[in-house]
Amino acid sequence: MKKLSILLGLSLLPTLSYAETSWWQPLSALNSGDTAWVMISAILVLFMTIPGLALFYGGMVRKKNVLSTMMHSFSVTALISVLWITVGYSLAFTEGNAFIGGFDRLFLSGMGLDLAKEMTTIAPNAGTVPEAVFMFFQMTFAVISVAIISGAFAERMKYSAMMWFSGLWFLLVYVPTCHWVWGGGFMAEGGVLDYAGGTVVHINAGVAGLVAAIVVGKRVGYGKEAMPPHNMVYTLMGTAMLWVGWFGFNAGSAVAANASAGMAMAVTQIAATFGALTWLICEKIAGHRPSALGLASGAVAGLVGITPAAGFVDPQGAIFIGIITAVVCYFSVSVLKHKLGYDDSLDAFGIHGFGGIAGAVLTGIFFNNTIFGGEATVGSQVLTQLKDVIITVLYSGIVSFILLKIIEKITKGLRVERDEEREGLDITIHGERVE
């Protein structure tokens, strides 16, 4: 009966004695400033996905696919939230082994608040905020990580295939990697520096997007027909929302309203601005006019690059990271993609994958021990960063490929029919159209 009640998440769950877990702490252990900041940060990160990423991606596709593309972000938000609550949070952040957590928080069982006894649960790595707040904050990271992937296969993948892949990828790739880096797994033990998700979020999602783009195949007419963004206003609005939300993403990862959060906020803005202007300079050198899409891409590239480094670098390091990441991502989007011929529709890999790799490696170069009280050396830290980047790339890539092949059998094909793609996914999948 106990196992059944846990699986069903019902009120039959046995009452947890405070002595059974050290996560129960007096309410006096909470810090109101820390709690308020993490709550605001969680809302900002959710704001990055809906409406931020939805508009950012929605503006870059053709008009006939705008609703379908935005539906990816909204659908993933609902799906991943449910999976995070039921099993994801427990496997990512409770005590387990070096590779995966345990089952103590299935359906969030054991997470509690007892006002009569003035006790609440507090996650060990977030000791001054309620566990419920920490859980929600980390949920928003999981949501946007999965949503990013859809940009690689936009305008051609079946809705059912997208949902199957999103859910299974979250459980089999995101959750283990999250545990490795932030839940006390082997990467954390090995000393990797990933403040807010260079490996967990961006490399993971970017590589999965690249694999999906290759396995699903190119859009009909890709390379032969013009496929310009239908509404750059949407994309710029989405960029603005991502940019502002990113302060919650990076500075919120301090899980406190302290000096570390303040520095993370500052270097986030520095990297974003230098990244945006660097991309425009790259366009000028290449003989192009300064574009709104380029400005948006450069800003996001800078933000991606600083994500793993936000709590470990000083402002000068952030400048270099913003510039270098923008140059690397520009090369990936403008040169590499065309040379290799894959159709990464909205550059999920070109910006997030490539930028995440660059940012993770650059963190090992530009970190400043005085910022976070570390004792690392550049040589050893770069090797650590490279090792964990390679592991993440291989793990995400291989598991993503296997999942796509399995789902292809389940859904009888990953992509819509050729005529349906020509007509547009809005009407053929969802029965709706933007007039």
Banded model confidence at residue 139, pLDDT cuts 50, 70, 90: very high
pLDDT of 2 over the 80 cut: no
- What pLDDT does 124 receive? 87
Map out the domains of the chain with their CATH numbers.
Answer: 24-417 (1.10.3430.10)
Banded model confidence at residue 12, pLDDT cuts 50, 70, 90: very low
For residues 143-151, give the mean pLDDT: 98
CA distance 132 to 128: 12
- What pLDDT does 1 receive? 31
CA distance 406 to 387: 29
Q: Could you give the 3-state DSSP secondary structure of residue 59? A: coil
Banded model confidence at residue 110, pLDDT cuts 50, 70, 90: very high
**pLDDT by residue (tens digit) across 385-399?**
999 999 999 999 999
Strand ranges (DSSP E) for 176-233? none
H/E element, 249: helix 232-251
Q: How far apart are the first and last CA of the chain?
A: 54
CA distance 325 to 305: 6
CA distance 256 to 248: 11
CA distance 400 to 406: 10
Residue whose entry in the numeric block shows the structure tokens 């994801």? 88
- What pLDDT does 9 receive? 35
- For 186, other C-beta atoms within 10 Å of its C-beta total 15
Q: Could you give the 3-state DSSP secondary structure of residue 183? A: coil
Note whether 266 and 316 are within 8 A (CB).
no
Across-strand partners of 113?
120
* More confident call, 435 vs 415: 415
CA distance 169 to 329: 25
Give the predicted TM-score (pTM) of the model: 0.93
